[in-house]
Amino acid sequence: MKPPREPVHGLLLLDKPAGLSSNAALQRARRLLNAAKAGHTGTLDPFAEGLLPLCFGEATKFSQFLLEADKSYRAMMRLGITTTTGDPEGEILETRAVQVTPAQVEAAMAPLRGEIAQTPPMYSALKVAGRPLYEYARAGITLPRAARRVRIAHLELLALEGNLLSFEVRCSSGTYVRTLAEDLGSALGCGGHLLRLMRTATGGFASDRAIAPDALEALPPAERAAVLLPVDALVSHLPALALSEEHALALAQGQILPCPGGAGLFRLHGPQGRFLGIGQCGEEDGLLRARRLVAQESSRQTPAKTLRY
């Protein structure tokens, strides 16, 4: 009989290897931690590697902050070959000769920086009528997809060796780096597809802090939970507000309070610095309301300077 799942809470920075799906990586980490509840903060394609933040327990309540965060990648694409999927897992569609210079790459990259329109690829998890697009694509069905605005904050050529082009990109949530590579190949006149992809950062977290699944498994079971960051690491960018026991209880009971800080979201802490959740101060009425509270067994917190209340 399997042991019952434990109430594990926190954020795991996982270094996902290539060849493993994000869901398989999540389930492996969940099994190793024997966690009752888990979720990811945005998937990586199976061929991709790098930083995959995973939320456990009460941390899943705040996963949206990383889902919506900017992300950074290092990528390598193969020029001259286009594929059905825009990556190495697809079938070859066309092969062209490659005669490209770094100056030509820079010229092709320039229009791809800033806010651009990008059409989601058919081989993606974006859902239409409750089904992911890749299911339609595998059935030979191509659906119209509306272009959407994404932001490419940084796009830099790292190396150009023959038909292999490496670049670094920092982009908004919802950007498909596969599509970016295809658009770059098209602008260069030779086509191309993404060969390798490594996520190096998301939000305020970097891959150099991540642990590989094998390294997590190598730890004694009793020590694995120690690699988790506290729940409030997901909202550490928010200003912190320290509440008295009386005010903490009032918010937990659904009451509203005068807010001592400016308008916006706040990270809430109770006595002894325990993390309570997040609250919002209204811009018009100046009142503090609880937005997302945590169960208090998960209240291990990150030390922070706070506004006292």
Residue type, 72: S
Q: Is the pLDDT of residue 305 over 60?
A: no
Q: What is the CATH number of domain 10-68+205-229?
A: 3.30.2350.10
Q: Is the pLDDT of residue 297 over 70?
A: no
Q: Is the pLDDT of residue 115 over 70?
A: yes
Q: Is the pLDDT of residue 3 over 90?
A: no
Q: For the chain, first and last CA: distance in Å? A: 49
How much is the average pLDDT of 189-212?
96
| Domain 71-202 of CATH type 3.90.1300.10 | no
Domains 10-68+205-229 and 233-308 share a fold: no
Give yes or no for a contact between 142 and 134, defined as CB atoms under 8 angstroms apart: no
Residue type, 252: A
DSSP state of 116: E
Q: Which of 57-66, 178-187, 287-296 has the lowest mean pLDDT?
A: 287-296
CA atoms within 13 A on the CB side of 14: 38
Q: Is the pLDDT of residue 309 over 80?
A: no
**Cα(289)–Cα(258) distance, rounded to whole angstroms?**
9
Q: What are phi and psi of 37, to 5 degrees?
A: -140, 135
Full-model pTM: 0.89
Q: Where are the domains of the chain?
A: 10-68+205-229, 71-202, 233-308
Known catalytic residues are 45
Which one is predicted more confidently, 252 or 169?
169
pLDDT tens by residue, 125-176: 788 888 888 888 888 888 888 899 999 999 999 999 999 999 999 999 999 9
Q: What percent of the chain has pLDDT over 90?
A: 73
Q: Helices marked H in 212-285 — which ranges?
A: 213-218, 245-252
* pLDDT at site 133: 84
**Cα(184)–Cα(295) distance, rounded to whole angstroms?**
47
Residue 5: exposed, middle, or buried by beta-carbon count in 10 A (0-12, 13-18, 19+)?
A: middle
233-308 CATH, one of 2.30.130.10, 3.30.70.890, 1.10.1030.10, 3.40.50.720: 2.30.130.10
